[in-house]
Structure 1
């Protein structure tokens, strides 16, 4: 009987100390930030404000882009693309300028390419770029695949990579719940930037 008693005593000692060991080695993570399933984002240095859908079903974020062209710059692959504001008329205006009159043009290094499998349609290869943006008053950077989202309600989709890297949780019942706003430009201010081109 003694060997059985000794074995039980050792198991008891192990289980009584195991939680204490776990507590000393476990890192304390900050509380995640809660966001709604739709929030405003301001893209990079342009000051353009867009609606973004936060989607846990997508790993990589995506950005509305048309006329996507690959080119070489300093022996590296770059991509040039346009973001027509007429496709999503969310930019505040303070005059008579129409959204269709402003198109933003971007040039970014190609970070990677992805092959997107589509149901009932041929697979599509998309360019992925890294871009800075602001949400909830805080700057962020993530990967964006470039695709024509003109027929979608939201020109920006933020995926799981952004949520994981920046410790974000989504409340699917709410939208526009972040308190801090990011600085953005009016339509007229955007039209005056060097990146704005007439269609």
Structure 2
């Protein structure tokens, strides 16, 4: 008979709105507005100035992310392994 594993449920769940401010420290982004979709299987990030390149036989993308409030916009340039295009 196969044992059934119990799901661990935190004692108190975090309360989230449909929009939240998040940080992406690996990309150098301090604060960016994000839409929360608890049913989503993937996520996306709006980027500009996208350049695809190869490093060690793998495809990467270099891109720019704009963040901050209007009147105080900031830019971060980041690199990440290429996951796909949509």
TM-score normalised according to structure 2 size: 0.71
- Which structure has the highest helix share of the two? 1
Query: What is the alpha-carbon root mean square deviation over aligned residues?
Result: 2.7
Kept in 1, the 8 Å contact 2:48–2:65? The answer is yes
For structure 2, the residue ranges without an aligned partner over 5 or more in a row are none
Q: Between the two structures, name the one with larger relative contact order (CA 8 Å, sep ≥ 6).
A: 1
Q: How does 1:1-199 map to 2 (within 5 A)?
A: 25-31=3-9, 33-34=13-14, 35-45=16-26, 46-56=28-38, 58-85=40-67, 88-89=68-69, 99-100=72-73, 102-110=74-82, 112-113=83-84, 125-126=85-86
For structure 1, the residue ranges without an aligned partner over 5 or more in a row are 1-20, 91-97, 114-124, 127-199
Larger Rg: 1
Kept in 1, the 8 Å contact 2:53–2:61? The answer is yes
Please list the CA deviations of residues 102-161 of structure 1 after superposition, one character each: whole Å capped at 9, or x if unmatched: 321001111x32xxxxxxxxxxx33xxxxxxxxxxxxxxxxxxxxxxxxxxxxxxxxxxx
TM-score normalised according to structure 1 size: 0.35
The whole-number CA distance in structure 1 between the counterparts of 2:47 and 2:9 is 34
Q: Which structure 1 residue ranges, 4+ long, deviate > 6 Å from structure 2?
A: none
